[in-house]
Amino acid sequence: MNAKSLKDIDFEKRNGLLPVIVQDRKTKDILMLAYANKEALANTAKTGNAWFWSTSRNKLWMKGEESGNVQPVHEILVDCDSDAILYMVDSDKPACHTGNRSCFHNVLK
């Protein structure tokens, strides 16, 4: 596995925001998709908790700051193009604002 630093990440490609997939490192469940800017990614690396940029509220936020469902980040992985992120987290609480474990709980018919 190659090591990347924050300066290697391509924030310009998507106007400063990167998609972040959040996955439970033990169960491999996909918990959510959110977005991070440079500050959110730096905060995640610094604090060990998942930080994002809220596109609806237009602000930085730490997962669980309101719900208490904090997501400790075990590892941050960067895709091959350095423009998408995967947070491997330890999470036994709901990730979705609806109270579901995963945001991906609806089936398209």
Q: Cβ–Cβ contacts within 10 Å for residue 3, how many?
A: 6
Q: State yes or no: 79 annotated in a binding site.
A: yes
Q: State yes or no: 24 annotated in a binding site.
A: no
Q: State yes or no: 80 annotated in a binding site.
A: yes
Q: State yes or no: 10 annotated in a binding site.
A: no
State the DSSP code for 99.
S
DSSP the chain: -----GGGS--TTTTT-EEEEEEETTT--EEEEEEE-HHHHHHHHHHSB-EEEETTTTEEEETTTTTS---BEEEEEE-TTSS-EEEEE---S--STTS-S-S------
Annotated binding site: 79-81, 83, 96, 103
Annotated binding site for Zn(2+): 80, 96, 103
Annotated binding site for Mg(2+): 79, 81, 83
